[in-house]
Amino acid sequence: MRRIPSLLSLLLLAGCAAQHAPAPILERPIPSRGSQNTIKPVPSASSVAVSRSDDGRPGTYTVKKGDTLYRIAFEHGFSYRDLAAWNNLANPDDIKVDQVLRLTSPGESADGVEVRPLQDTARSAPAVTSAKPMETLAYPKAIKQPYSQKNAESIGKLAEGGSARTAVASRAAATHASSPSTVKIVPAEKKSAASETTPAMQNGNSGHDWISPTPGKLLKSFSDETKGVDIGGKMGQSIVASGAGKVVYAGSGLRGYGKMVILKHNNEYLSAYAHNSKLLVKEGDVVKRGEKIAEMGNTDTDRVKLHFEIRRFGKPVDPTKFITVDRP
């Protein structure tokens, strides 16, 4: 019986000690203004200017008297449908003198700078450069144990508030690990001027493989005035594509050229076949090198012949540097 009061005394003492244990304290480090723990905002997604290769063509053109959209497109090395779309022209014939036309797509500025938004991956949460582990003090919860001298002593020791240090990873560290702190801007790929809709032609001074569009003698040589060569022949003689390409024009809307076909071989080269009596292709057709596209004629000219031009970025170049023509 004497032992019972002593046991009760020990339990009461342990209980009283546990009631006065201090509450757990969580210390969070407060970054100083000059420390490295400051939060750096990530640059927002903005526009990146990417320069395209300079091919010498202007970004705009002012319409002059006598101009047509077909001629403007031809002389600058574009499809007239592209120019109409870039300038919101429902009718290609609806252009006016002194009207300024853009010669670039809507994704490019008039000075030839293409604007592209950064990828969505750039939009990330603010990043913290470093995170410091925080410490907590562990205290016992209410514990029920069977009576023994050893358990009674352990309860008293726990009631004294022994500290157990535990490292806790901060949320800032998790944020830093999961989201980038900087935005990496990768230059946009530049499209090669010699690659687009059709296989590039090999060999020749231009790096292309051209063939003569029709057999015949050279009637008129290349000059700044002729802008191409005239090849003589017979009415209805076959006219073939000098190289693989896409038909960007087939009609008689360019004054002085009669019935004409224009092929776009890539972003760099166009070829034109004028004064035909009959056109065998239509806009949008893709043709192979050597494929028949028209028949020779004398539309809008004084004799039966083929007027043949090659244009690089819209500028006429001498076709005899790329094809062989019989000279008189």
Each residue's pLDDT, cut to its tens digit, for the chain (328 residues) gives: 555 556 666 665 555 555 555 555 555 555 555 544 444 443 433 333 333 446 778 888 999 988 888 888 888 888 888 888 889 888 888 888 998 998 888 866 555 544 455 455 445 445 555 555 555 555 555 556 666 666 666 655 555 554 444 444 445 455 445 544 444 444 444 444 334 444 444 433 455 689 999 999 999 999 999 999 999 999 999 999 999 999 999 999 899 999 999 999 999 999 999 999 999 999 999 999 999 999 999 999 999 999 999 999 999 999 999 999 888 7
C-alpha separations of 91 from 70, 72, 103 in Å: 12, 15, 17
55-111 topology per CATH: Membrane-bound Lytic Murein Transglycosylase D; Chain A (3.10.350)
Q: Which CATH superfamily is domain 218-321 in?
A: Glucose Permease (Domain IIA) (2.70.70.10)
Residue intervals in the chain for CATH 2.70.70.10:
218-321
The whole-angstrom separation of Cα 238 and Cα 292 is 6
Q: How far apart are CA 261 and CA 281, in angstroms?
A: 8
| pTM exceeds 0.75 for this model | no
Give the residue range(s) of CATH 3.10.350.10 domains in the chain: 55-111
Rounded-to-integer distance, Cα 211 and Cα 214, Å = 9
d(CA 231, CA 60): 34
Q: Supply the DSSP string of 257-269, one letter for each residue.
A: T-EEEEEE-SSSE
